[in-house]
Amino acid sequence: MTDIEPDETVDGRGAACPGPLMDLIGQIRDAEAGDVVRLLSDTDQSLTDVPEWAEEAGNELLAVEEFDDHNAFYVEKS
């Protein structure tokens, strides 16, 4: 478990790819620099999509938590 406190949470569980990533991108666009957005996703594709997007977009992937039925990604807006 991480002790990171997100400013916003996007629940993309149940959505097909690239839905969770698109939801995350939308939330990051509305966030202020330094805000942390947590994405909850149950698609395995997010494990590669989110880190690749964060790097390309210049945001920082702070942590990934893996649970039995989903993953939580913590992204800080640059």
- Residues serving a catalytic function are 17
Q: Bridge partners of 25? A: none
Q: Record the tokens describing residue 67, joined without a space.
A: 């649970």
DSSP-based three-state secondary structure for 60: strand
| Residue 70 host element (H or E) | none
Measured in degrees and rounded to the nearest 5, phi and psi for residue 13 equal -65, 135
